[in-house]
Amino acid sequence: MPHQPSETASDAGSASVLAITGVEKTFLTSRGERLKALETTNLELKVNEFVCVVGPSGCGKSTLLRMTAGLESCETGSISFMGTPVVRPRREIGMVFQEYSLLPWRSVLDNVAMGPEFAGGSRADCVRAAEEFLQLVGLSEFAQSYPHELSGGMRQRVAIARALANRPELLLMDEPFGALDAHTRILLQRELLKICQKHATTILFVTHSVDEAVYLADRIVVMSPRPGRIKRILSVDLPHPRSRGDARYAALSQHILELLES
């Protein structure tokens, strides 16, 4: 019997980390026209939940992530982290961008140490944190290398380690594997799940890839074309590690593709 995903607004019975309530966003174009990027959006994330957002280009996925990070303001509605409104970036919320955003003049270790350093940690504490998370992503031997000496996949591992070194309670990821080749992307998906198991973090992950969402997520948010709105929220009732050859995996992927195409 084909897998029938459950459809839900949130999972009950656990603490809320993130609450997005009635959020909308409109931008002004260079010609002064108003462009609605995001319709009224409501979403809640629970502790240690992995939620993926999928949708067509321009539907407001990245805008929603940037507002959640405190990098942009909400036009309407509110975003709260642990019950406190998000009005500016905060250490408890980390973000990994599609571009690696590493400082080329700093070593790998010093890139990862940036968060603890900006928080006022001692040099010894910053180095200790950087070494811990470089080991977690399997890059300890490249601590003294520079970004230009690394492959794209390795640079993205450094970016993930840098975000985790702040020990965020919520990690936002904006298409972090989108620029990688298919093989490296699959390897980093597996690596990310291992990291989640070892270092429990709530994750909100934006992707264009339906396969990636089904492989990673506890729940999948399906967005409409611009102006973006949530069409459906699906619970993924498949145990990890997930097999792409599983008929239920294929059925859920097909269901999401149909939602995106409808």
Torsion, Cα 132 169 214 20, to 10 degrees, reads: -160
CA distances to 130, 159, 161, 192 from 112, in Å: 5, 7, 6, 17
The amino acid occupying position 254 is Q
pTM for the predicted model, two decimal places? 0.89
Q: Classify residue 228 by its DSSP letter.
A: B
In the beta sheet, which residues pair with residue 228? 38
**3-class SS of residue 117:** helix
Whole-number Å distance between alpha carbons of 250 and 219: 16
- In DSSP terms, 206 is beta-bridged to 53, 174
CB contact at 8 A, 255 and 211: no
Q: Under 8 Å CB-to-CB from 254, ≥6 apart: which residues?
A: none
Nearest alpha-carbon partner for 205 in 113, 68, 85, 72: 68
Cα–Cα distances (Å) from 221 to 7, 15, 61, 81, 235, in that order, read: 10, 19, 10, 19, 9
Can you list the domains of the chain with their CATH numbers? 6-92+168-261 (3.40.50.300)
Q: End-to-end CA distance of the chain, in Å?
A: 24
pLDDT one digit per residue (tens) for the chain, 262 residues: 344 455 544 444 467 999 999 999 998 888 888 888 899 999 999 999 999 999 998 899 999 999 999 999 988 999 999 999 999 999 899 999 887 789 999 999 999 999 888 888 889 999 999 999 898 888 999 999 999 999 988 998 899 899 888 889 999 999 998 888 888 889 889 989 988 887 778 999 999 999 999 999 999 999 999 989 999 999 999 999 999 999 999 999 999 999 999 8
